[in-house]
């Protein structure tokens, strides 16, 4: 099997039955960009549960267990309150639910910034306890030493530059980055620094489009855009955002569905049937033989 975990489909709601297949690898993802070009853009979405991973798996190249789960799943005000234990629990669930996509788990705030050794301790737990293929951490040149430390010890790292939500207090908000020439140069410099440190890919979030294009063209590793440019080597979105689960979403999100309305309508119909005693019917009850 392509994962260290397997669901018991005889007792689990996790259907359809997972089919064994070869999971994408870090070298395969990195190799999709050759000679500075990516002909087949990389598809990445967030996933936080086993069932969600199953539904997304065949359509994606990578699944990101993002620390955005703090807001999406737990209703926290930001990603800063997310713990390592939370990331590990959800990371393991996503690995169990997927058989094709490469799974990357976010390093939460406070789990890696203090020192490369601290980052290794956290990342090694994530890798061992989830079965994921790599970790993602925020920061450019300032995290190059840490990225090199992890990469040299067998932990694949995806970097994250531009708008870095864990630094929202220092940045002063979630606005797009790169509007000044100084910031433009810093973002491109950050990308080159994480590439030289050994990152296998980098997320560019919330940067003005010309910078995203320049960054993509200047790096040999894949650049995954979110609020960046269609010219990036791939794209990532928070799945709940693109499915229309929330009323308020970032400007860069395209809603592909309106699941919030679908769920609300189903709950309304269910409530009406319970109150009118039209549910359950004979089809949903057990009768004496």
3-class SS string, 50-66:
HHHHHHHHCCCCEEEEC
Residue 67 assigned to a binding site: yes
Neighbouring C-alpha atoms within 13 Å toward the C-beta of 65? 37
Helix axes 144-151, 116-130, angle to 10 degrees: 50
Determine which one of 113, 182, 196, 205 is catalytic. 205
Residues whose CB falls within 8 Å of the CB of residue 221, separated by 6 or more in sequence, listed in order: 30, 33, 195, 199, 200, 201, 202
Q: For residue 220, say whether it is annotated as part of any ligand binding site.
A: no
Is 33 annotated for ligand binding? Answer: no
Residue 258 among known ligand-binding residues: no
CA 239, 245, 249, 255: dihedral to nearest 10 degrees? 70
Please say if 205 is a catalytic residue.
yes
Q: Is 233 annotated as a binding residue?
A: no
- Of 99, 106, 112, 124, the C-alpha closest to 69 is 106
Q: Residues marked as binding for 3-methyl-2-oxobutanoate?
A: 67-68, 106, 136
Binding-site residues for Mg(2+): 67, 106, 138
Which residues does the annotation mark as catalytic? 205
């Amino acid at each position: 099997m392509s994962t260290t975990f397997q669901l018991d489909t005889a007792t689990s709601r996790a259907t359809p039955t997972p089919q064994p297949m070869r999971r994408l690898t870090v070298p395969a993802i990195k190799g999709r960009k050759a000679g500075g070009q990516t002909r087949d853009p990389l598809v990445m979405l967030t996933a936080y549960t086993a069932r969600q991973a199953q539904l997304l798996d065949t359509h994606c190249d990578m699944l990101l267990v993002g620390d955005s789960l703090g807001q999406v799943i737990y209703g926290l005000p930001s990603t800063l309150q997310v713990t390592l234990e939370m990331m590990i629990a959800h990371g393991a669930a996503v690995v169990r639910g997927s058989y094709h996509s490469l799974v990357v788990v976010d390093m939460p705030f406070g789990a890696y910034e203090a020192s490369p050794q601290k980052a290794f301790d956290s990342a090694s737990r994530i890798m061992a306890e989830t079965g994921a293929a790599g970790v993602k951490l925020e920061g450019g040149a300032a995290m190059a030493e840490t990225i090199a430390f992890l990469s040299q010890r067998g932990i694949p790292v995806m970097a994250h530059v531009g708008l870095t939500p864990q630094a929202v207090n220092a940045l002063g908000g979630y606005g797009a980055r790169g509007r000044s020439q100084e910031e433009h140069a810093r973002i491109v410099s950050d990308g080159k620094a994480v590439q030289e440190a050994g990152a296998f890919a980098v997320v560019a979030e919330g940067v003005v489009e010309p910078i995203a294009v320049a960054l993509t063209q200047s790096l040999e590793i894949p650049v995954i855009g979110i609020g960046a440019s269609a010219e990036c080597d791939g794209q990532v979105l928070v799945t709940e955002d693109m499915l229309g689960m929330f009323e308020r979403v970032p400007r860069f999100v395209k809603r592909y569905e309106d699941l919030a309305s679908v769920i609300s309508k189903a709950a309304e119909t269910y409530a009406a049937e319970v109150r009118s005693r039209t549910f359950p019917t004979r089809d949903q009850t057990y009768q004496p033989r």
